[in-house]
A and B are shown apart, each in its own frame.
Chain A
Amino acid sequence: MKIKTLENIEIIRDRKESSINPRKFIVWLFIATIVMLFAALTSAYLVKQGEGNWLHFEIPDMFWVTSVVIILSSISMQFAYISAKKDNISWIRGCLLITMVLGLAFLAGQYLSWGELVRQDVFFVGNPAGSFIYVLTGLHAVHLISGIIFLAIVLYSAFKYRIHAKNLNSLEMSVTYWHFLGGLWLYLFFFLKIYH
Chain B
Amino acid sequence: MGKAKLEDKNQNISVEDHGAEHDHDHHQSFITKYIFSTDHKTIAKQYLITGIFWAFIGGMLSVIFRLQLGFPDMELEWLRPLLGKWITETGKLDPEFYLALVTMHGTIMVFFVLTAGLSGTFSNFLIPLQIGARDMASGFMNMLSYWFFFASSVVMFFSLFIETGPASGGWVVYPPLSALPQAISGSGLGMTLWLIAMALFIASTLLGGINYITTIINLRTEGMSFTRLPLTIWAFLLTAILGLLSFPVLFAAALLLIFDRSFGTSFFLSEIFINGEALPNIGGSPILYQHLFWFLGHPEVYIVILPAFGITSEIIATNSRKPIFGYRAMIGSLLAITVLSFLVWAHHMFVSGLNPFLGSVFVLFTLIIAIPSAVKVFNYLTTLWRGNIVFTPAMLFSIGLVSFFISGGLTGIFLGNSAIDIQLHDTYFVVAHFHLVMGSAAFFGMMAGVYHWFPKMFGRMMDARMGYVHFWLTFIGIYLVFFPMHYLGIAGFPRRYYSFTNFDAFNIFTDLNSFISVAAILTFAAQLVFAFNFFYSIFRGRLAPLNPWRSNTLEWTTPRFLGHGNWPGEIPKVYRWPYDYSKPGAREDFIPQNVPLSVTPESNLPSEKEKVDAENRRTKEKSVNEK
**Which residues in A have some Cβ–Cβ distance to B below 8 Å?**
1-16, 19-23, 25-26, 29-30, 32-34, 36-37, 39-41, 44, 47-48, 51, 53-55, 124-129, 131-132, 135, 139
A185 vs B283: C-alpha distance in the bound complex, in angstroms?
Answer: 26
A10 vs B38: C-alpha distance in the bound complex, in angstroms?
Answer: 11
A-B contact pairs, 14 of them (CB 8 A): A1-B19, A1-B568, A2-B14, A5-B563, A7-B13, A7-B27, A7-B28, A11-B137, A15-B221, A16-B1, A33-B247, A54-B283, A125-B264, A135-B259
A183 vs B516: C-alpha distance in the bound complex, in angstroms?
Answer: 56
Given contacts A15-B1, A15-B222, could you give 13 more A-B pairs where the C-beta distance is less than 8 Å? A3-B17, A3-B22, A4-B14, A4-B134, A7-B32, A29-B210, A33-B244, A40-B249, A48-B267, A53-B282, A53-B283, A124-B259, A131-B265
Q: Which residue of A lies closest to B17 (CB)?
A: A3
Within 8 A of A (CB), among B277-294: 282-285, 287-288, 291-292
B9 adjacent to A12 (CB under 8 Å)? yes
A47 adjacent to B291 (CB under 8 Å)? yes
Segment with Cβ contacts to A, from B53-61, B186-194, B212-220, B440-448: B212-220
A4 vs B568: C-alpha distance in the bound complex, in angstroms?
Answer: 6
Contact of A2 among B17, B244, B264 (CB under 8 A): B17
A3 adjacent to B565 (CB under 8 Å)? yes
Chain A residues within 8 Å of B136, by CB: 11
Q: Which residue of B lies closest to A20 (CB)?
A: B218
A55 adjacent to B9 (CB under 8 Å)? no
Is B245 positioned at the interface, with any CB of A under 8 Å from its CB? yes
Is B481 positioned at the interface, with any CB of A under 8 Å from its CB? no
Tell whether A32 pairs with B17 under 8 Å between CB atoms, given A14-B570, A40-B249, A40-B252.
no
Contact of A11 among B32, B133, B244, B270 (CB under 8 A): B133
A47 adjacent to B18 (CB under 8 Å)? no
Q: Which residue of A lies closest to B249 (CB)?
A: A40
B17 adjacent to A1 (CB under 8 Å)? yes
Chain A residues within 8 Å of B13, by CB: 6-7, 9, 12
**Which residues in B have some Cβ–Cβ distance to A below 8 Å?**
1-2, 6, 9-10, 13-20, 22, 24, 27-28, 32, 38, 133-141, 206, 209-211, 213-215, 217-219, 221-222, 244-249, 251-253, 255-256, 259, 263-267, 270, 282-285, 287-288, 291-292, 295, 563-565, 568-571
A37 adjacent to B265 (CB under 8 Å)? no
B270 adjacent to A3 (CB under 8 Å)? no
A39 vs B295: C-alpha distance in the bound complex, in angstroms?
Answer: 12
Q: Which residue of A lies closest to B22 (CB)?
A: A3
User: Across chains A and B, which 10 residue pairs bring their CB atoms closest together, nearest first?
Assistant: A40-B252, A36-B248, A37-B248, A22-B137, A40-B249, A3-B17, A4-B14, A125-B264, A4-B565, A29-B210
B1 adjacent to A7 (CB under 8 Å)? no
Chain A residues within 8 Å of B28, by CB: 7
B564 adjacent to A5 (CB under 8 Å)? yes
Q: Which residue of B lies closest to A33 (CB)?
A: B248
A30 to chain B, nearest CB (A): 6
Contact of B283 among A22, A26, A129 (CB under 8 A): A129
A20 vs B16: C-alpha distance in the bound complex, in angstroms?
Answer: 29
Chain B residues within 8 Å of A29, by CB: 209-210, 213-214, 244
B267 to chain A, nearest CB (A): 5
A34 adjacent to B266 (CB under 8 Å)? no
B38 adjacent to A7 (CB under 8 Å)? yes
Chain B residues within 8 Å of A131, by CB: 259, 265-267
Q: Which residue of A lies closest to B2 (CB)?
A: A16
B140 to chain A, nearest CB (A): 7
A128 adjacent to B283 (CB under 8 Å)? yes
Tell whether A48 pairs with B265 under 8 Å between CB atoms, given A5-B14, A34-B248.
no
A64 to chain B, nearest CB (A): 27
A135 adjacent to B256 (CB under 8 Å)? yes
Contact of B141 among A26, A41, A125, A139 (CB under 8 A): A26
B155 to chain A, nearest CB (A): 21
B245 adjacent to A32 (CB under 8 Å)? yes
Chain A residues within 8 Å of B218, by CB: 13, 19-22, 25
Chain A residues within 8 Å of B210, by CB: 26, 29-30, 33
Tell whether A6 pairs with B564 under 8 Å between CB atoms, given A51-B285, A126-B266.
yes
Chain A residues within 8 Å of B253, by CB: 40
A16 vs B219: C-alpha distance in the bound complex, in angstroms?
Answer: 11
Chain B residues within 8 Å of A139, by CB: 255
A128 adjacent to B266 (CB under 8 Å)? yes
A22 adjacent to B219 (CB under 8 Å)? yes
Q: Which residue of B lies closest to A47 (CB)?
A: B288
Chain A residues within 8 Å of B255, by CB: 135, 139
